[in-house]
């Protein structure tokens, strides 16, 4: 990646990139290198601004691309929201979303999170069927038209060619990345004491507090016995110590 490209990314972060620069970036650069630099600059900025720890590492561009290839995005000009009426795959794991999160009080939906807009699961596609905007993120995400007919074969983002669209999609990319981080952090595990997976006769439990303590006790006994013999010599008690705050 040459200096000029880096300059452009830098300018893009400050919303000072002009359309030509943006065009060039998105069409010429290797998407992976581009994303990597983009993330790195953000981390630097976060660090300088004293917001350390927010690591933008979630890459949803591939998921975005495949989603675009699969479906065309309905475009709602009047509401100013990214409305996507897709289908939901139940029980996504680490979900990242573009759009806003809506906490539903409806009892029938209480176990799953509803995302407004387009949400992408880490290991599969998850799209929400809710299409109403509810809070602040909707103001971040400007209308974006994803048009697969206009996109080039190999640009990493498959955004439309119109300049207006491009400008917004850079916003959208930023919003995607940020929200991906926030939402993957806030995404909760299933209800405590529940069973969440049964495959091939294997039952997997989610532990309650008391059970966690019990788990740790076993772990201590197991680790303690492994101490002398372990070849893989990360201090065996690390596993016990790490869950110490949960119980024992």
Partner 1 sequence: MNILGGLGFRLPSEARRNASTWVSRVCLLPIFLLVLGAMTSVSASAQEERSAEDWIKSMHAAGVHASYRGTFMFSRGNMSSSMRIVHRFYEGQEQERLTQLDGEMGEILRRGSEVMCLVNGQRLIQLDKQQFESPSQSVFAQFMPGHKHYSLLKDGYERVVNRPSVKLSIKSKDALRYSYYLWLDEASGLLLKSQIVGQENQVLEHFQFSMLELPTEVSDSEFEFDMDAEKLTHESIPMSRPDDRWPEQLVWKSTWVPAGFMRIDATASTQNVMLYSDGLANYSVFVEKKKANALPVGASLVGATVAYVAEFEYQSHTYSVTIVGEIPPMTAMKVAKGVQPTMLENGEKGG
- Select from 73-81, 146-154, 166-174, 226-234 the region that touches partner 1 (CB under 8 A): 226-234
Residue 55 touches partner 1, criterion: CB under 8 A? no
Contact pattern from residue 57 through residue 96 relative to partner 1, giving x for each residue in contact according to CB under 8 A and a dash for the rest: ----------------------------------------
Q: Classify each residue of 128-145 as buried b or exposed e, where b means 16 or more C-beta atoms within 10 Å of its C-beta.
A: bebbebbeebbeebbbbb
Q: Please identify, using beta-carbon distances, which residue of 37 and 104 lies nearer to partner 1.
A: 37
Q: Which of residues 93-112 bind partner 1 (CB under 8 A)?
A: none
Dmax over Cα atoms in the chain, in whole Å? 68
Q: Please identify, using beta-carbon distances, which residue of 75 and 215 lies nearer to partner 1.
A: 215
Rounded-to-integer distance, Cα 74 and Cα 71, Å: 9
Burial class (CB in 10 A: 0-12, 13-18, 19+), 77: exposed
Residue 44 touches partner 1, criterion: CB under 8 A? yes
Rounded-to-integer distance, Cα 5 and Cα 32, Å: 13
Q: Which of residues 169-208 bind partner 1 (CB under 8 A)?
A: 189, 193, 195, 200-207
Task: Give the CA count within 13 Å in the CB-facing half-sphere of 62.
Answer: 7
Dihedral-angle region of residue 38 (phi above 0 means left; psi in -120 to 50 means alpha; beta otherwise): alpha
User: What residues make contact with partner 1 under the rule CB under 8 A?
Assistant: 3-4, 6-7, 9-11, 13-14, 41, 44-45, 48, 123, 189, 193, 195, 200-207, 210-211, 214-215, 217-222, 224-235, 237-246, 248
């Amino acid at each position: 990646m040459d200096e000029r490209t880096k300059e452009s990314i830098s300018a893009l972060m400050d919303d000072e990139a002009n359309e030509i620069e943006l065009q060039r970036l998105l069409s010429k650069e290797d998407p992976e290198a581009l994303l990597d630099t983009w993330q790195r600059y953000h981390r630097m900025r976060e660090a300088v601004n004293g917001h350390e720890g927010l690591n933008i590492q979630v890459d949803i561009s591939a998921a975005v691309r495949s989603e675009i290839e699969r479906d065309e995005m309905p475009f709602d000009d009047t509401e100013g929201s990214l409305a996507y009426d897709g289908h939901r795959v139940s029980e996504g794991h680490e979900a990242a979303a573009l759009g806003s999160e809506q906490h539903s009080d409806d009892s029938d939906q209480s176990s799953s999170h509803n995302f407004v807009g387009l949400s992408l699961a880490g290991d599969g596609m998850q799209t929400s069927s809710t299409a109403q905007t509810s809070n602040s993120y909707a103001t971040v995400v400007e209308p974006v038209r994803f048009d697969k007919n206009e996109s080039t074969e190999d640009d990493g983002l498959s955004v439309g060619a119109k300049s207006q669209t491009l400008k917004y999609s850079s916003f959208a990319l930023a919003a995607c990345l940020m929200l991906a981080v926030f939402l993957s952090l806030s995404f909760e595990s299933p209800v405590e004491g529940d069973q969440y997976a049964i495959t091939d006769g294997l039952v997997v439990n989610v532990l309650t507090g008391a059970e966690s303590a019990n788990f740790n006790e076993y772990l201590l006994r197991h680790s303690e016995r492994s101490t002398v013999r372990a070849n893989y010599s990360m201090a065996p008690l690390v596993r016990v110590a790490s869950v110490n705050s949960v119980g024992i």
